[in-house]
Structure 1
Amino acid sequence: MNNKNKTVVRSMDILNLFIEHSELSFQEIITLSGMPKTSVYRMLGTMEEMGFLEKGSDAKYRLGLLFLKFGHLVSSRLDIRKAAFPFMNALHQETEEAINLIIREGHETIYIEKIDTYQKVRLYTAIGRRSPLYAGACPRAILSFLPDTEIDAYLDTVELKPIAKGTITDKDKLYDMIRQARIEGCTVSHSELENYTSAVAAPIYNNVGDVIAGISIAGIEANYEGEKVDVLKKKVKDAAYEISKQLGYLH
């Protein structure tokens, strides 16, 4: 790897810190990145100059407006996001819980949209965040409705690592949950990606009937018990079906 490539990779390492942190000081960036002070200083200056980062009056760095331009370009090309947003918004208005939209990327999922105006507690999920297919209601809503051969191939190669106290790490139990999801048409999780949070989710299909995304309702675990969960299951399944129809799904 030549010096230019190293600089690009290190710059991306710094930018990736802002997926989980809305703002960071110079020292926090050094600590989190593990890079030398002089290298961080040089790269921050360049990224600020190019508009990738901006430095506030409080001396903390934040993502620059350039990302809004890129973000809008990417979002406008994601038909799934366009199709889903009105239904996500309606679901959020009804439930006042966080609504998430994810797509699959290999053995992972990535959150591409989230609405949480009424959700006062910040959850694990955030746009751009990744999760393994096996963990959490929304990722598992995709995994559960893949062809059997894909599920088997995935579970033969993946290591089921614990993320939170409720993460499913037993393969037999995971298969049981997949079978249950197929019966109910949705998934439920408790403390799988973050302790004391829960979610209910359903798969979204394209025009040829392939599962391509998942939508979830998520919030504090104490609110996801008894009859309320049944109500949320129906709501998320209805929303997922309407989004699928927008994408040409005719089942």
Structure 2
Amino acid sequence: MKETKGESITLIEEKPSKKYNVPALDKALSIIEILAEQRNPLGVSDICKLVDIPKTSAFFILNTLEGHDYINKTEDGKYKLGTKFLTISSSILNKMDIREFAKPFMQSLMERTGFTVHMATLDHGEALFIDKLESQSFVKFSTYIGQRQLLHLSGVGKAIAAYSPLAVIEEIIKEKGLPQKTENTITSWSEFKTAMESIRKQGYAIEDEEGEIGVRCIAAPIYNDQNILVAAISITALRTELSIQDISVVGNHVKETAIQISKCLGYTKDEFPIN
């Protein structure tokens, strides 16, 4: 309440109400949402029934939406979403940091497994760490955002390599080699190719004390709406915390999380490519 001399004025903040809606716009948005939910195109009669709108109004709205490429008409006179939405969604995705999409899923994976979670991208032939969520464990790993690792020495690196074009990875390995870090490190190209084939078959990469003794990682790729590999996500744990018997269970958690993030980026498949 705001008071002035000799009078008092009560300011009431009103919440948005349906009475302020633009009816035609409201119906247009409802039509778009209905078409998005349906697997197959819809005829005018079906749209009118689902949206509860007269045919005359429906035709005006549909023609307007079609004129702006928000919907397309099929040869048999039915309607489906148009390509304009692909343009808009791509624009939105390009303006947003992948970490914004991934953060809640990374948090969920950390809470579900109890392990530290990393995200990395391919940069100049190396795995570049772009995000990290530290677990509540008393053990803290020395990895940090901005750190780089050779592809064969980390879970994220192996996942990125496995799902990248083979010729690209072969050139990277020719340039950087496969230096040995531990007794478990993969040091030959033929062995690395075999490992990448196994990764694609199971949908996630395992790094078993190959970069550091006593540490295991499990990683999976992240794809965007163009079916392009953009990053990889991983969990990192001590060997004593992650047994061989638990790897498949945790691996599937990592894979599921990577698919969820990928779908937020517009990826439409339920599995990652095998070949």
Partner of 1:88: 106
1:26-46 CA-to-partner distances (Å, cap 9, x unmatched) read xxxxxxxxxxxxxxxxxxxxx
Query: Aligned equivalents of 1:138 and 1:165: distance in 2?
Result: 20
Residue from 205, 210, 214 that aligns with 2:223: 205
In the comparison of the two structures, how many residue pairs are matched?
175
Q: Secondary structure at the match of 2:250?
A: helix
Instruction: Output the amino acid matched with 2:246.
Output: K
1:166 is displaced (CA, Å) by: 2.5
The answer to whether structure 1 residue 181 and structure 2 residue 199 are counterparts is yes
Query: Structure 1 length normalisation: TM-score?
Result: 0.66
Residue from 116, 121, 126 that aligns with 1:108: 126
Q: Secondary structure at the match of 1:200?
A: strand
Query: Aligned equivalents of 1:120 and 1:164: distance in 2?
Result: 24
Partner of 1:41: none
**Structure with the greater alpha carbon radius of gyration:** 2
Runs of 5+ unmatched residues, structure 1: 1-76
CA RMSD of aligned residues (A): 1.5
Partner of 1:233: 251
Query: Aligned equivalents of 2:248 and 2:241: distance in 1?
Result: 12
Residue from 164, 175, 191 that aligns with 2:182: 164
1:213 is displaced (CA, Å) by: 0.4
1:177-214 CA-to-partner distances (Å, cap 9, x unmatched) read 00100111110011222220001110001111111101
| Structure 1: 4+ residue segments shifted above 4 A | none
The answer to whether structure 1 residue 223 and structure 2 residue 248 are counterparts is no
Runs of 5+ unmatched residues, structure 2: 1-94, 270-275
Sequence identity, in percent? 29
Q: Secondary structure at the match of 1:222?
A: coil
Work out whether residues 119 and 219 of structure 1, in 8 Å CA contact, stay in contact via their aligned partners in 2. Answer: no
Q: Secondary structure at the match of 1:233?
A: helix
The answer to whether structure 1 residue 119 and structure 2 residue 137 are counterparts is yes
Query: Aligned equivalents of 1:234 and 1:192: distance in 2?
Result: 21
Work out whether residues 117 and 135 of structure 2, in 8 Å CA contact, stay in contact via their aligned partners in 1. Answer: no
Work out whether residues 204 and 240 of structure 1, in 8 Å CA contact, stay in contact via their aligned partners in 2. Answer: yes
Query: Aligned equivalents of 2:117 and 2:195: distance in 1?
Result: 22
Query: Aligned equivalents of 1:111 and 1:174: distance in 2?
Result: 21
Work out whether residues 105 and 261 of structure 2, in 8 Å CA contact, stay in contact via their aligned partners in 1. Answer: yes
Query: Structure 2 length normalisation: TM-score?
Result: 0.60
Instruction: Output the amino acid matched with 2:171.
Output: A
Instruction: Output the amino acid matched with 1:130.
Output: R
